[in-house]
Structure 1
Amino acid sequence: MMDIDTGIDDSLELLYLLSSPDAEIVGIASTAGNVPAAQVAANNLALLDLCRAPEIEVALGAAEPLAIPLRTTEDTHGPHGIGYAELPPSARTLSTLSAAELWVERVRAHPGEIVGLCTGPLTNLALALRLEPELPRLLRRLVIMGGAFNHPGNTTPTNEWNVYVDPEATKEVYDAFSVAANRPIVCALDITETIEMRPDHLVRLAERAGSLPVERVSESDPAGARSAASNPIVRYLLDAVRFYFDFHHHLDLGYLAHMHDPFAAAVALDHELARVRPATVDVELAGTLTRGATVADWSGMWGREPNADIVVGTDPARFFDRLIDRIGEYARSVYPPATH
């Protein structure tokens, strides 16, 4: 069960899961975050069209966080959340259930079977917990992309974006999952900012897909450059990720893009990709400078049991090999190269 605020790297997460034979997406909750919830939902439906995917239930999430106004980040992800890419509106229809209701319906129907994957603000999951307090026991496992522990924030000096958008929801989720048999796995900025996509990765992906011409995006490309790739999925990726490269480049981080959300998806499918350390996590809601900060008690000073397994190590090259193989092969299968 995905809960996602699509989003450039979120869209690669969706592609990764669609391309993974060991994944079955049982539902997609569209969460307000990178862009408003209605745009997130539209992006999800359009991406399913692009991938010629079977029908997957997509639900519209809450329009606003639990206690504060919504803040979005089009400067990071583009006016529609997918960078320079453009996708036609989908004819697919949204679920009649809200995102919170879809969470509850799915876990009740499949107790102990579903892995939840949250890569946006936790608003919808918090609302689902209010509807079904047993949700932590009904899920097989929860994987979260969010937070920053021994690492600077990417939104304020102490805040990661997903938590910043709805810190109250984040705290409700961590408090509720203190009773879960399997602790949530948390992919925070400490690890996801080591997952650096670079132009070479896109070259390799295009080659794997058999897409021509094989293009290399660069900071020296003219403004408004767009891909001419023959494969529509590769063309989408180049136009979306180019915006993300440009954003990071403008922040003097290099011509690269942090692939926060696809990494969390990979961990959800294969926990062996991640080295974890248990900790008790709580969220600061009152601090003048630190509101929204995620705080980890690594050594038990609070006297509370750990409620999270925080990812502290991985092999980024291994992750990218897997992402390139899966999405590249998937793009080739959905849009086979022309033969002459």
Structure 2
Amino acid sequence: MTGVRQPVFLDVDTGVDDAMALVYLFGSAEAELVGIASTAGNVPVRQVCRNNLALLELCGITDVPVSMGSENPLQTPLRTAEDTHGPYGLGHARLPAPTTSLTPYDAAEAWVRAAHAHPGELIGVATGPLTNLALALRADPTLPRLLRRLVIMGGAFDYRGNTTPVAEWNVSVDPESAAEVFAAWDSEVGHLPIVLGLNLTENIAMTPQLLGRLAAAAGSSWTPMSVDDDRGAASAASNPLIRVLEDAMRFYFEFHHDQGEGYLAHLHDPLAAAVALDTGLVRSRPAPVGVELTGTLTRGMTIADWSRRWGREPNALIGVDVDPAAFFDRFISRVGAFAKQLDHS
């Protein structure tokens, strides 16, 4: 670490794992979070805005602007995922209503403003549907050249979907926006977006044991979680941030258990936040990527043309390998220390 803070702009549809991604960035000394775009996805966009503002207040962060994005995808009605993330997006956690306000400009403009304020330096991270980013690219097609790096959590490459048999949630909600974003990148931009699909992120499985390690790193009291616990049992952690994260994660554990995946939770979005700061956490392969928009059974599917059948140049770096233990060591260290410092501030 050089001591130089890297400007980061985060586009989220908060969301349990989006909240964990936010907290990871709060706890990363090398990250300067310069803006948050709220996108409709896991819950409607106004609830996403409330979640983002409330998390900032909980964590004592007062200088990060939050902007509201479009209420709907580019062409289709919005679908939300309260079954996965709870009625308000943060699982069983409930945060006080925020007292702070949104920016007077929308999320697409927030992208453009941040990129122009930090030309060649800004790291963009998108962990929800890509509606805001697509609208930003329409407003300013030079945006890719202004970014230093873009990390996208989305898609599934040579892997099953989690929304349809072949489509991942973020892309499935707004496939047109994903197609526009991928089309905006080419070899002349100077960098390719790093795309972390389900084939990679489902290796990042949070468990009650790992959550216990996080509580211990924060110096918090905690009670081990179990599949035998009452549904919605409230966290008894002494640390206020750990308490919220445990209440959020319990809902996520319950959802994954009901899906037959075990009493665990996939932390898709925190991996994207971590890779944004350190690309060495994953191994990636370049490929041309397309998004299926018209298939009766395959709409929202992301296709990597590994063998270059299309004759196109790569427009993405696709994550293909990750060390979950290395990720969790870093996540627990950073978020634990941040929660501990928050409790004593």
TM-score normalised to the size of structure 2?
A: 0.96
Deviating more after overlay: 265-274 vs 214-223: 214-223
Structure 2 counterpart of 1:289: 297
Match in the other structure for 1:265: 273
Shift of the alpha carbon at 1:336?
2.4
Query: Which residue of the partner structure matches residue 186 of structure 1?
Result: 195
Unaligned runs of 5+ in 1: none
Provide the C-alpha distance between the structure 1 equivalents of 2:42 and 2:104, rounded to a whole number of angstroms.
23
SS at match of 1:173: helix
* Counterpart check, 1:108 vs 2:116: yes
Q: 1:49 aligns with which of 50, 53, 57?
A: 57
Match of 1:205 in 2: 214
User: Where does structure 2 lack aligned partners over 5 or more consecutive residues?
Assistant: 1-8
Q: Could you tell me how far 1:223 is from its partner in structure 2?
A: 2.6
CA positional deviation for 1:180: 2.2
Letter in 2 for 1:36: P
- Once residues 46 and 165 of structure 1 are traced to their aligned partners in structure 2, the CA distance between those partners, rounded to angstroms, is 25
Q: Which amino acid aligns with 2:219?
A: G
Task: Give the deviation of 1:101 after TM superposition.
Answer: 0.5
Aligned equivalent of 1:133: 141
The answer as to 2:34 corresponding to 1:26 is yes
Q: Which of the residues 155, 160, 164 maps onto 1:152? A: 160
User: Counterpart of 1:175?
Assistant: 183
Q: Is the 8 A contact 2:21 2:270 kept in 1?
A: yes
CA distance in 2, matches of 1:128, 1:223: 41
Question: 3-state DSSP class of the match of 2:75?
Answer: coil
Deviations 1:215-241 (A, max 9, x none): 111111113310111100000011000
Tell whether the 8 Å contact from 2:193 to 2:315 is kept in structure 1 after alignment: yes
CA distance in 1, matches of 2:76, 2:126: 20
Give distance in 1, aligned partners of 2:45 and 2:185: 25
CA contact (8 A) 2:232 2:250 kept: no
Match status 1:232 vs 2:240: yes
Counterpart check, 1:195 vs 2:204: yes
Amino acid in structure 1 at the alignment position of 2:200: I
**Number of residue equivalences:** 336
Partner of 2:130: 122
Partners of 2:94 and 2:36 lie apart in 1 by: 21
> Aligned residue for 1:89?
97
Q: 2:231 aligns with which of 223, 235, 247?
A: 223
Structure 1 distance, partners of 2:185, 2:77, is 25
Alignment-derived partner of residue 18 in structure 2: 10
Determine the structure 1 residue equivalent to 2:151. 143
Separation (CA, whole Å) in 1 of partners of 2:293 and 2:195: 19
Amino acid at match of 1:224: G
The amino acid across from 1:227 in the alignment is S
Counterpart Cα distance in 1 of 2:293 and 2:22 = 31
SS of the residue aligned with 1:191? helix
Q: Who is 1:329 aligned against?
A: 337
Instruction: Write the distance in 2 (CA, Å) between the matches of 1:238 and 1:14.
Output: 15
d(CA) in 1 for partners of 2:196, 2:206: 17
**Greater CA drift, 54-63 or 71-80:** 54-63
Runs (4 or more) in structure 1 with deviation over 2 Å come to: none
Looking at structure 1, the residues matched to 151 and 292 of structure 2 have their Cα atoms a distance apart, in angstroms, of: 21
Partners of 2:232 and 2:114 lie apart in 1 by 42
SS for the counterpart of 1:140 is strand
Q: CA deviation at 1:275?
A: 0.3
Q: 3-state DSSP class of the match of 1:130? A: helix
